[in-house]
Amino acid sequence: MKNIFLFFLFSIILSGWTVTTYAQSEDDLIEICGMIAQDATFLKDFTIRLDAGDPPPIQRFSVILKKGIKYRFSVCNSNDYEGRVILQLFDNNRLLATTYVVASGKDYPSIDYDCSKTGAYHLFFNFKEGKPGLAVGLLSLVETM
């Protein structure tokens, strides 16, 4: 009788016990990334979601930047994926700035860019080693020069 009671008690406890997981959404990442870009005025966000691939898939966005403005580009990765995002800023075919320096192997959560020419610029996002990932990039205004 005692064993039956313990069995039912144990069954009731286990049936009421649920495990809750919290995945990071794009909104959560934007909020986290906004904290990195503090002292800057938010302008635009970019959501990057890429599957694994060899060569690594790339997501591209175009933006118009104005001469005499200092911009900050920030990136935040989701902890739910193993991929770490790399942001590259291009003017035509010329690399102007990146969040990942290959020579040192160092990642930066944000980069500042002093715009010297008004025009279209291109943002390229990919994940290191072609791993799948979810990330958010923010474009912010730091100051006018």
pLDDT bin (cut points 50, 70, 90) of residue 40 is: confident
Right CATH for 24-144 from 2.40.37.10, 2.60.120.380, 3.30.300.30, 3.30.70.1290: 2.60.120.380
**What amino acid is encoded at 70 in this protein?**
K
Q: In angstroms, rounded to a whole number, what is the distance separating the alpha carbons of residues 142 and 72?
A: 6
* CA dist., res. 3 & res. 20, Å (int): 30
Tokens of 91: 């003017």
Global pTM?
A: 0.77
Look at 21 and 97; give whichever has higher pLDDT. 97
For residues 63-90, average pLDDT = 95
Rounded Cα distance between 54 and 43, Å, is: 33
pLDDT, tens digit, for every residue of 83-114? 999 999 999 899 999 999 999 999 999 999 99
The domain segmentation of the chain, as residue ranges, is: 24-144
Residue 129's Cβ-count burial label (10 Å; 0-12, 13-18, 19+) is: exposed
| Residue 129: both structure tokens together | 């080693």
pLDDT at 21 (0 to 100): 40
Instruction: Tell whether the model's pLDDT for residue 12 goes beyond 70.
Output: no
* 137 within 8 A of 48, measured Cβ to Cβ: yes
pLDDT at 71 over 80: yes
pLDDT at 141 over 50: yes
How would residue 8 be classed by pLDDT, with cut points 50, 70 and 90?
Answer: low
Does pLDDT of 13 surpass 70?
Answer: no
User: Rounded to whole angstroms, how far apart are CA atoms 85 and 16?
Assistant: 39
Beta-carbon contacts of residue 58 (< 8 Å; ≥ 6 apart): 50, 124, 125, 126
pLDDT of residue 143: 80
